[in-house]
Structure 1
């Protein structure tokens, strides 16, 4: 493996551990790391969604076991977020649009980390209206599918600001929200791009996690990868174009 490949793997693993501790899956961290490494946008979204699924599944299980979860808060959100995440995942944005959009998301994530760092959980909890939760779910689901984030970085501060749940419940609910949105978004990507091998996502995630040979080529960095990925039609794996 090349040094930059090792660094990217380590950064992704650290992001996964840090984000999982607060009920998030780390998509903004993965996207930032992959963007800095020069990974193609066609690869960034499905890779981030796949990593989201793995990390959010672990976080959701842990929070649910300790009772840090709210079904009344969760089901109206995902009722609309799942179909919209699927729609967003099926949309292939041009690099000129996708990169600035992801950049906005990453800037927001950084600002949120500072602005909400000292937020207290002593405020009284309010009961949200179901129709409002459904509207929020639809908007965040679409954004999740389009960019490859799970939506938790937007959902958590919103729930906290509106005092719709206590912090520990927000973390658990956000983790589950990220999980279902990431699954729906990834299914949308696969439904739109049938030429993308079904095993590709699993392979890329495994290689990212354990640093197995083949990872550089799978994610678009290192030797043997087509450097003209933005010119390749659709979202075909660029190593197949022969350049």
Structure 2
């Protein structure tokens, strides 16, 4: 019971932190599930389900704040949505899945530690590049069980295509759409979320409302993001090492 309670608390904190920057939190949920030894076959469906609710609420808050730019989103989702469905139907060996997931978690750490940038004016988008990255992110989002925002966000910031809060709004809806497509692909193969998914959904909704409300005014506290980065780093190394 103590371990289960700790698991729920970790999911709750993760949903607050991720939603405050427009993310669904799948990479965090997957890290937590890995730490609590959840079976790999349940991880993708569970993370994508939580993503759906957390990212959806996060998008609503940032959209209401006036930070959403449809023209910037469209090139990324044209190919990402169908490829997320295809990626979710790809069978991956448990060991291979662990290595790929571990690498993506390490990318998430790099994103939070090194890629944060101050607010600045957006530059014109490179359409072919946006289409390419959207396709790649969509495929791996479905295959691994993440929404892709953890990689889309640093891309938007590094390219100067969006401000921080615009990035949060775009990432949130990108994650929502890819997660919806990915979970359809996962469920079409018969995979199911973990048994406590309904409790996790409620926890995720409450956490997302708190985090998204905070994110409209300021980003998540740097100290907490470093703690989350440590968890992701530990889980990523654990997955790769144990595989």
TM-score bucket (shorter structure): 0.7 to 0.9
> Which residue is equivalent to 1:9?
8
Task: Please tell me whether the aligned partners of residues 45 and 183 of structure 2 are also in contact (alpha carbons under 8 angstroms).
Answer: yes
> What is residue 82 of structure 1 aligned with on the other side?
81
Give the drift of 1:165.
1.2
Residue of structure 1 equivalent to 2:111:
112
Give the structure 2 partner of residue 45 of structure 1: 44
Tell me the residue number matched to 2:200. Answer: 208
1:178 equivalenced with 2:145 (yes/no): no
Using the TM superposition, give the Cα deviation of residue 207 of structure 1 relative to its aligned residue in structure 2, in angstroms.
2.6
TM superposition shift of 1:204: 3.6
Displacement of 1:155 in angstroms is 0.3
CA-to-aligned-CA distance 1:176-201 (integer Å, 9 cap, x gap) = 000000000000011122xx4xxx54
1:141 aligns with 2:138: yes
Q: Deviations over 1:64-122 (max 9, x none)?
A: 112111111111111100001001111121111000111111111112211124x2123
Q: Are residues 1:56 and 2:48 paired? A: no
| TM-score normalised by L of structure 1 | 0.80
1:36 aligns with 35
Q: TM-score, normalised by structure 2?
A: 0.80
Any gaps of 5 or more consecutive residues in structure 2? 204-243
Aligned equivalents of 1:153, 1:61: Cα separation in 2 = 18
What's the CA shift for 1:172?
Answer: 0.1
CA contact (8 A) 1:76 1:130 kept: yes
Distance in 1 between residues matched to 2:125 and 2:165, nearest whole Å:
17
Q: Point out the structure with the larger helix share.
A: 2
1:147-183 Cα offsets, whole Å, 9 max, x none, are 1110001000001000011111111000000000000
Q: Secondary structure at the match of 2:152?
A: helix
| Consecutive unaligned residues in structure 1, runs of 5 or more | 212-243
Q: How many residue pairs align between the two structures?
A: 203
Larger Rg computed on CA atoms: 1
Instruction: Give the number of the structure with larger relative contact order, counting CA–CA contacts within 8 Å between residues 6 or more apart.
Output: 2
